[in-house]
A and B are shown apart, each in its own frame.
Chain A
């Protein structure tokens, strides 16, 4: 009589493999940013300048508050001719550096309009993690020299290509943010996080890759158009670390606009005022008629 144990072992192993594959999004990487620490950029209030220069201050931190080691960074700075147009006359600059012990704060100043793509890396719990973000600086000052073009080749770190369905300088709830892994580095599927847990929203598949649409946030809606909240897109990488991408989303600028309701308010006051004016004209005509009769 043949034992059924090998068959059971084979199917249980297959089921486990399928389950792991499903859990890791098909890449074989299971990274849960809710339970595992990752490294991310957090924006700090920037210093204000009286000379027209613009600044951005960022902290490279771990999500679980544990200390980081061997932290370094580089950024790619592209001068802009306007809000959207790259200044072709000025070349892209790569600026790099590393953090000392303790404070992992980086401040970038600019006297020109500058698009900055920033990468950071650090070791957390013995594993190397990467963090990414971007920002726009609208500096208008001669006091800060524009970045020197060049700076060598861009380091080949695991990273995402980022795109949004709206204006890149004003990410909003309701926009679709697409992050596709650059190169073939085995980056897993991302999970959208907030400082306190998973971000509310919807994952969508787009032509450009996996996307995320942050849900409407009542607190943001109440705070004013300039208020924003961070969203961190986090994915695992093959050696057990992670790569994250930080954006700050504002409330939806047009999401609350109701055109039909607006037309109702507009039309009703238009009709109401017209009615009052017609009554006024009629009364005046009657009075004039009475005056002529008498």
Chain B
């Protein structure tokens, strides 16, 4: 089985568990390192970003931090770290329900025969800064609310304003409510109109460019910060690389490092979501490896790449 097929299988299974799991008693808690949106009715787990902004993170006042609330925040942070340490960016490539939603849009576009949008490396580098800005906003926003600098209606400032998953994913739970403009007061009007504008624009861009939102995802940045403790890694053997550039061409995140790296074996960069497309496509046997604690889970091979081409040809 190619990594691509395995990925699709795992992605769909994860989607069912994270979006509908709560209806069957699955409760994974607020430490899940992917966009398992808590706004979905009956979800099976909650995205760590929401908890981090709210009741298990920066939403706690400083006075409450040194006690039960702080201990709970620390517990869920440790759960998050352990989950990231175990699976790393597989959470993005294989598990994230919003990642799968973006993949569905890409599949639809290809079916309709539209060509996709590639982002130039220099543009990618500039756009990538946005994810750190959003990360800063989701950390500082709740602190500013606690200090009385921001109005309380900015509560969960990233989810409420900038996360396109918040209106979109609840639709799969049968709820359209998050597409409403909340005119209760000026702040709610600003917050919800920003959210809907971001969602509208992002949806169009996600159709044109695979995994467009992942370029801006603050969770991707957070997971990358934990790279030193992550057991999963993408490795390259530069000596075995032909330099054909297939890895660059198949990468939907437009990562160039895997192709360009000529000395280091570590090619895991911030925008890589560990989808495994490069490992599947590389014809240089052993040049690319997806490893867990140093042991290879999958590695590139001529046979694998040919099998993939055969499979694609048949399709």
Contacts and interface: CB of A to CB of B under 8 A. Distances in A.
Interface string B138-162: 0000000000000111010000000
B200 A270 contact: yes
Interface string A237-270: 0000000000000011011111101111111111
Interface of A: 48-52, 140-141, 221-227, 251-252, 254-259, 261-274, 277, 280-281
B205 A277 contact: yes
B176 A259 contact: yes
Given A261-B181, A273-B204, A277-B208, 17 more contacts: A48-B63, A48-B64, A50-B66, A140-B68, A226-B152, A261-B183, A262-B179, A262-B192, A263-B179, A265-B193, A268-B200, A270-B203, A271-B204, A272-B201, A273-B201, A280-B117, A281-B115
B196 interface: yes
26 contacts: A49-B68, A50-B64, A52-B72, A140-B68, A221-B184, A224-B151, A224-B153, A226-B152, A257-B182, A258-B181, A261-B180, A261-B181, A262-B196, A264-B181, A265-B200, A266-B196, A266-B197, A266-B200, A267-B200, A270-B200, A272-B201, A273-B200, A273-B204, A274-B204, A274-B207, A277-B208
B68 A51 contact: yes
Given A222-B185, A270-B204, A262 B180 contact: yes
Contacts of B64: 48, 50
Contact of B201 (A51, A259, A270): A270
Contacts of A52: 67-69, 72
A51 B67 contact: yes
B189 to A, nearest CB: 9
B188 interface: yes
B126 interface: no
B177 interface: yes
Interface in B96-150: 115, 117
A24 B148 CA distance: 47
B181 A273 contact: no
B170 interface: no
A256 B184 contact: yes
A203 B112 CA distance: 57
Contact of B204 (A222, A227, A277): A277
B184 A262 contact: no
B199 interface: yes
A225 to B, nearest CB: 7
Interface residues of B, number: 37
Nearest to B204: A273
Contacts of A261: 180-181, 183
A135 B188 CA distance: 28
Interface of B: 63-64, 66-69, 72, 115, 117, 151-153, 155, 167, 176-177, 179-185, 188, 192-193, 196-201, 203-205, 207-208
A258 B182 CA distance: 6
A50 B67 contact: yes
Given A258-B183, A265-B181, A281-B115, A49 B67 contact: yes
Contact of B184 (A251, A259, A265, A267): A251
A273 B204 CA distance: 6
Contact of A269 (B72, B182, B196, B207): B196
Nearest to A263: B179
Contacts of A263: 179
Contacts of A225: 152-153, 155
Nearest to B155: A225
Contacts of A258: 180-183
Contacts of A277: 117, 204-205, 208
Contacts of B196: 262, 265-266, 269
A221 B177 CA distance: 19
A130 B88 CA distance: 60
B200 A257 contact: no
A280 B208 CA distance: 11
A134 to B, nearest CB: 23
Contacts of A252: 184
B127 to A, nearest CB: 15
A262 to B, nearest CB: 4
A217 B152 CA distance: 17
Nearest to B176: A259
A267 B201 CA distance: 9
Contacts of A141: 68
Contact of B182 (A140, A256, A268): A256
B176 to A, nearest CB: 7
A100 B209 CA distance: 72
Contacts of B197: 265-266, 269
A171 B248 CA distance: 56
A14 B192 CA distance: 60
A278 B200 CA distance: 15
Given A259-B180, A277-B205, A269 B155 contact: no
A254 B192 CA distance: 13
Q: Could you say which of B115, B167, B182, B207 has the most chain A C-beta atoms within 10 Å of its C-beta?
A: B182
